[in-house]
Amino acid sequence: MKYCTNCGAELKEGSEFCPKCGTKIGAKKPVSNGAVVNGGVQPKSKMAAGLLGIFLGCFGVHNFYLGFTGKAIAQLLISVLSCFILSPVSAIWGLIEGILILSGSMNVDAEGNPLGE
């Protein structure tokens, strides 16, 4: 027995439309991109966060992106306050975090929401 995806009414085998609400059977509703996860919170992109960490880690951009603002500011300040003398410290820190993010070792943002692809 099949059921209407819209109203849940029982459907006769082979029927094309729901007798109750008229929904076309078999016509799947288009799934919007960024399907609803965690009550509508759009997951942040693991790929974006990882690449930001690898390329812009010395500015803490990936941590700003993920919501780890304290860590992000630390990385940014290490670079800026040292006139970029110490920016390799932040850059390597960000690079490592970027790799951890891409490898799945860091897979949640600051609010604990899992990262998307």
Which residues of this chain interact with Zn ion, rule CB under 5 A? 4, 6-7, 9, 18, 20-21, 23
Residue 10 or 111 having the CB closest to Zn ion: 10
DSSP letter assigned to residue 44: P
* Of 113, 115, 116, 110, the residue nearest 72 (C-alpha): 110
Tokens of 113: 């929401």
Q: Put residue 43 in one of left, alpha, beta given phi > 0 → left and psi -120 to 50 → alpha.
A: beta
Residue 11 or 61 having the CB closest to Zn ion: 11
Q: What are phi and psi of 71, to 5 degrees?
A: -65, -40
CB of 15 to Zn ion, least distance (A): 10
Residue 4 or 76 having the CB closest to Zn ion: 4
